[in-house]
Structure 1
Amino acid sequence: MDRLSNTVRPYAWGSTTAIPELLGTAPTGEPQAEMWMGAHPGAPSRINRTTTPLDHPLSDLIAADPEAELGAPTVKKFGPRLPFLLKILAAGAPLSLQVHPNLAQAKEGYEAEERQGVPIDAPHRNYKDANHKPELICALTPFDGLCGFRDPAETADLLARLDVDSLKPYVDLLHAHPEEAALREVLTAVLTADPDEMSHTVHSSAEAAARLGGEYSPYASLAHHYPGDPGVIAAMLLNRVQLQPGEGLFLGAGVPHAYLNGLGVEIMANSDNVLRCGLTPKHVDVPELLRVVRFEATEPAVLRPEASPAGEELYDTPIDEFRLSRYTLAPGAAPRELTAATPQILLCTDGTPRANDLDLAPGGSVFVPAGEKTELTGTGTVFRATVIA
């Protein structure tokens, strides 16, 4: 197995302290948003294997011999690439309100933009690849987010209590129409409203939310970070989710969501396809967004890991591209056998565990090629990322 050297992405919404505290390093004063572990071309992990040049990208190693690194079943099912990307995510400010396409939508959108000749790095391009991007976040600290549409009647009541005149048409729509039509019409109206009028609505709504406090506090905070952004009103259509450490949340295709604050382990299919609803200065393609969003009220299902007799705690999701589990190693515990026919990334988040002959510390990670005998010992917490092949 190989110890990984990973890139930390400095997105503006990142916490300045959470990742340094995990790694035991001094803060730089700059935001540190995501630490990527995997073979994504945007920031592949690097390894120091004696048979390769030092500081070698994991993506190059896999490309040189996919079956040796990933195993024949993984290559047959997903092709010669690592199907997932693992991250440490540290939100110090809200991320953009967004959705991800399903696999068919991603392929269709990618091929359409390729035919149109849209450069892959163009800021107005929606589809960077032809893959879907289901994802799972597991909280390491209390973690705050928004996920899925709230029941329209409940949203109507929430908006009505703000007592803002320009919100009243949305309240009427949410009460008068069937669920799907109500959600579609209100989100469309919010995202296509006159910018000056919407800016005034956001300002008035934020003032009212600050006065009311309580469940309204997140919306006042969103408006502080993104003044005048229609995403502030769109966010009021969604469920608020507060995860405790160890709890997870799975996000499938078409489900609008945003992370607000907290530190977590995130895993996703190896894609970069994002359609944004707001809370961002980046491109918002309203027609394409409306094509992808699932306009249905949902109750967010908070995941708690299911323990096996072998000590593995699994976060069960309906996705084959990734499989995330956790091992909590107590003092004196028997070694945990992790040998698998699929590739693995092991990530330490607490304590001083040992993977074979490699000592791990919080934030430390290793890549395990398919079939390599693997054993965990010591004490601490280790997340295991692999695939179902």
Structure 2
Amino acid sequence: MELLTGSVRHYSWGSRELIATLRGEAVPTQRPEAEVWFGAHPAGSALIGEQPLVDIIAADPESQLGADVRARFGDRLPFLLKLLAAAEPLSLQAHPSLEQAREGFAREDAEGIAIGADQRNYKDDNHKPELIVALTEFEAMAGFRPLAKTLELLHLLNCAELERYLSMLGGEGSREEDDLRALFTTWITIPTMAREQLISEILVAINAALSRKLEPWQTEALENIVQLHERYPFDVGVLGALLLNKFTLQPGEAIFLDAGQLHAYVNGLGVEIMANSDNVLRGGLTPKHVDVPELVRILKFSSLESPQVEADKVAGWSRYATPVDEFQLRSATNTESFLVDAHGPAILLVVAGKVEAKCGDATVVLSPGDAAWIAAQDPEVTATPLGGQATVFLAEVG
């Protein structure tokens, strides 16, 4: 077991307060702190001392990952753990399936697009299913809202320009997936002047609707559109967001997003775990590269009633079950010593209180925002809260 130093990512949407406050550091920070990567991705590996974890694993994959993980996933850590802190909305985005990632990565390599190029979509050949657990109140847009609810929301706006587009839906024998595909692809590709006119009229209608008594989910969804437009005026992502579920998670609540599910995190601090990938296809709400045809190609247009994941209580841990093999995530809050029963390579992350972790002859003291790497060869770990209650997350292979 070793102290693991995360790789900080200073994206423009990041918070200058959330991660620093978690760590007990001065705020605001000089630069936004959007993410801290605790993992072994080549684009931003965590460190043990001065050495990247990705290099340590490459030098001795058997002791670091274990035979079972190597047999299933090769010689790379299959998951990436992060702290994510959003002060502004992230891009409207989705991630490819494993097959799509392999094909896209090979295609862009063959086209000679450099890995670090702005127009590169596929940074690696892996998929990126992801789970995020809120540490603060956390706002997110996640998955296409069931079409019936979307039509209910949009019809109440009584917007003539909007109704022109809605009239194309619901033909004889039409399927929800086909209608969502038709509406989204139409909106994301309409000419700039038409898009600006449509958004202008929608905003007038939204402001009128917000003066009336609405259901809470309707108010939240419409207020979100107004706020997105203030940040990204007339952006195509404002239209796309009209079709998405909008959630406000409370601490400890979680959502899971699989390949092809459109989403954008809006605000808040969370612990995120995903397959070890940095592949993102964007469709708006960003100054970064947007590739609409590729995004549409990998999207799933089936609706998502709710992406929320209920935690199971297992032996003192809250386990967030997902249908993927690359990772699993558990959390525990304790005042007394407890066993960290990691199986194979794992990362222990502290988010509240202070913890003394012991593993054989090794001892590390972890404060909020600190993490420890537990190699497959390591003996069991015991964690002891120091001075009161502590909360930890444990990331492992699924």
Give the TM-score normalised by structure 2: 0.91
**Amino acid in the other structure paired with 2:190:** A
Counterpart of 2:138? 143
Say if 1:14 and 1:90, in contact at 8 Å, map to a contact too. Answer: yes
Give the distance between the partners of 1:273 and 1:57, measured in 2 at CA.
21
Structure 1 unaligned segments of length 5 or more: list them: 49-54
In structure 2, C-alpha distance between the alignment counterparts of 1:256 and 1:339, rounded to whole Å: 32
Would the aligned equivalents of 2:142 and 2:307 in 1 still touch at CA under 8 Å? no
Q: Distance in 1 between matches of 2:73 and 2:126?
A: 11
2:347 maps to 345
Aligned to 1:33: 34
* Structure 1 Cα separation of the partners of residues 115 and 133 of structure 2: 31
Deviations 1:240-275 (A, max 9, x none): 122111111110011111111111000111111111
Could you tell me which residue of structure 1 aligns to residue 338 of structure 2?
A: 335
1:175-234, CA deviations, whole angstroms, 9 ceiling, x for partnerless residues? 434211111111111111001221232233234334433231110000011111011011
C-alpha deviation, 1:277, in angstroms: 1.8
Quote the RMSD (CA, aligned, Å).
1.6
Partner of residue 219, structure 1: 225
Residue 226 of structure 2: SS of its match in structure 1? Answer: helix
Structure 1 residue 339, shift from structure 2 partner: 4.4
Q: Distance in 2 between matches of 1:299 and 1:154?
A: 10
**Secondary structure, counterpart of 1:245 in structure 2:** coil
* 1:100 and 1:255 in contact (8 A); partners too: yes
CA distance in 2, matches of 1:245, 1:209: 30
**Following superposition of structure 1 onto structure 2, how do residues 1-389 of structure 1 map, counting pairs within 5 Å?**
1-27=1-27, 28-48=29-49, 55-176=50-171, 177-213=174-210, 214-215=219-220, 216-309=222-315, 311-330=316-335, 333-340=336-343, 342-356=344-358, 357-373=363-379, 374-378=381-385, 379-388=389-398
State how far apart, in whole Å, the 2-side matches of 1:349 and 1:135 are: 19
Alpha-carbon spacing, 1:302–1:83, altered in 2? closer, same or farther (3 Å): same
SS in 2 for 1:191: helix
SS class of match (1:198): helix
Deviation at 1:307, TM superposition (A): 1.2
Judged with a 3 Å threshold, the aligned counterparts in structure 2 of structure 1 residues 185 and 61 are, in CA distance, closer, same or farther, namely: same
**For the residues of structure 1 that align with 2:30 and 2:230, how far apart are their CA atoms?**
21
Is the 8 Å Cα contact of residues 346 and 385 (structure 1) preserved in structure 2? yes
How many Å apart are 1:29 and its aligned residue?
A: 4.2
Q: Could you list the per-position Cα deviations for residues 66-117 of structure 1 after superposition, in whole angstroms to 9, with x for gaps in the alignment?
A: 1111111111211111111111001111111111111111111112222222
Q: Match of 1:278, SS?
A: coil
Amino acid in the other structure paired with 1:281: P
SS of match in other structure, 1:21: helix
Structure 2 unaligned residues grouped into runs of 5+: 211-218
Q: Residue 157 of structure 1 contacts residue 171 of structure 1 at CA under 8 Å; is this kept in 2?
A: no
Aligned residues of 1:44 and 1:58 also touching (Cα < 8 A): yes
Contact 2:161-2:201 at 8 Å conserved across structures: no
8 A Cα contact 2:188 2:239, kept in partner? no
Q: Partner amino acid for 2:282?
A: R
Kept in 1, the 8 Å contact 2:3–2:48? The answer is yes
Aligned counterparts of 2:289 and 2:121: Cα–Cα separation in 1: 8
Aligned residues: 378
Identity across matched positions, percent: 46
Which range is displaced more, 177-186 or 219-228?
177-186
Quote how far apart the aligned CAs of 1:351 are. Answer: 1.0
Counterpart-to-counterpart distance in 1, 2:205 and 2:33: 32
Whether the 8 Å contact between 2:128 and 2:277 is mirrored in structure 1 is yes
After TM superposition, the structure 1 stretch with the greater mean CA deviation from structure 2, 235-244 or 153-162, is: 153-162
Asked if 2 retains the 8 angstrom alpha-carbon contact of 1:241 and 1:300, the reply is no
CA contact (8 A) 2:337 2:382 kept: no
CA distance in structure 1 between the aligned counterparts of 2:204 and 2:265, rounded to whole angstroms? 22
- Secondary structure of the residue aligned to 1:174 is coil
Q: Deviations over 1:307-346 (max 9, x none)?
A: 113x22211011111111011112xx35224243x11110
Separation in 2, partners of 1:209, 1:16: 31
Runs of 4+ displaced beyond 4 Å: none
What's the TM-score once normalised by structure 1's chain length?
Answer: 0.93
Residue 187 of structure 2 aligns to a residue whose secondary structure is helix
Contact residue 156 and residue 170 of structure 1 kept, 8 A:
no
